[in-house]
Chains A and B, each alone.
Chain A
């Protein structure tokens, strides 16, 4: 049986449209879309599945609310043997563009994954990829130190790094795929 890349939500913003397909290809996995994170336990194949959850995509499209994100995270916290990556926008660091409730969901996600990393550390790994809020249409430009504009290939490479064989000792970390934007905040040192 092939490894499944469980994904949520189904719909991604245009900037990340090909993310699941690219990550699945690089991981040699098969995409299994979840309608909601509560489906996770019923869609498992029994093999070593991995999960990627693009938190802000669900929020900006109105598919979920910050409160629902928090309850979904507690479902993930009880799911055994599942390496996962959550993708959040960098609005949680403090932003003049991101809605306060929305940034709260990002902070909650990181906090929850760090606790999962500790509590379930012997059986699974949980990490976060943090990307510019502009990827979700929250801000209009990325404005980072690097001239390069973060694209879906960069995010897919990071997800693959964290979920694949290169990342087997990475746990509870936030990987900033942001052109260096995080450097201007004390919250990231």
Chain B
């Protein structure tokens, strides 16, 4: 009896927020999910949840901005279960810094966590996918690359993610490997819940649907793009934003 190889998903930054929701979703979609995080406890918590729900999952700690650590992580995944067939580059750091405060250290940190990590993980995953002619990548970008206050470093990194998504989509198409991106709008995570109700309402003015999205909304989009139902879709940057990306004229700050 022949057995299908186990579909293996790796979700970077999977220990919380959007990454955790994507991990849970891929767990219920039948992937063995490797939940990556810097923090073992958080990653293990999500993996345990998936296993408790009848799925397969493991926690894997690695700093994805370190290419040697990424290689070691892929070595472990491949040895334990098999090559990654679905990669979600979700790990990232945000931040708000006016250009006068974007020093070399801040810039390097944002670029390495938000962009270098996408190179390290994609390069490694694609080295197998291109040979097996099977697999798919979803990168978590951001609508911030279109431009926003205090986001010069973050926008530059996410614009890099968008560019890499499109270039890799073209480069890998003949290998039957698809590469897409999701640009989340305002999503209900701890990051936003820390804001005051008034600040939140001001933010929601720029969202046509007048509400925050959920992490499950992003997970559903990732699940779709990574599935065979999206076999004709590659290079797409999908804004899951309630319409915010159509235009988002905000409350203008003082000029």
Residue ranges of A at the interface with B (Cβ–Cβ < 8 Å): 114, 117-119, 121-122, 125, 144-148, 150-151, 154, 157-158, 161, 165-173, 175-180, 182-183, 189
Contacts and interface: CB of A to CB of B under 8 A. Distances in A.
A183 B238 contact: no
Closest 5 CB pairs between A and B? A121-B208, A145-B173, A171-B243, A166-B220, A169-B217
Contact of A171 (B166, B209, B214, B220): B209
B40 interface: no
A147 B174 contact: yes
A189 B158 CA distance: 13
8 contacts: A146-B232, A158-B230, A168-B217, A170-B221, A171-B208, A179-B234, A183-B234, A189-B237
A145 B243 contact: no
Contact of A114 (B214, B221, B246): B246
Contact of A180 (B162, B170, B209, B243): B170
Contacts of B121: none
Given A147-B174, A158-B233, A172 B224 contact: no
B229 A161 contact: yes
A183 to B, nearest CB: 4
A166 B10 CA distance: 21
The majority secondary structure among interface residues of chain A is loop
B210 interface: yes
B176 A176 contact: no
Interface in B83-109: none
Given A157-B229, A183-B235, A146 B210 contact: no
Contacts of B21: none
Contacts of A175: 233, 236, 238
B109 to A, nearest CB: 26
A148 B234 CA distance: 11
Nearest to A149: B232
Nearest to A165: B220
Contact of A169 (B169, B173, B214): B214
B139 interface: no
A169 B217 CA distance: 6
A147, A150, A175, A180: residue with the most chain B Cβ atoms closer than 10 Å: A180
B56 interface: no
A180 B169 contact: yes
A182 B235 contact: yes
B220 A146 contact: no
A167 B213 CA distance: 11
A146 B234 contact: yes
B239 interface: yes
B209 A177 contact: no
A176 B178 contact: no
B246 A177 contact: no
Interface string B210-229: 10011001001101100001
Given A121-B208, A189-B166, A145 B240 contact: no
Given A145-B170, A169-B214, A121 B209 contact: yes
B241 to A, nearest CB: 7
A118 B208 contact: yes
B135 interface: no
A117 B246 contact: yes
A118 B207 CA distance: 8
Given A117-B243, A118-B246, A121-B210, A166 B234 contact: no
B247 interface: yes
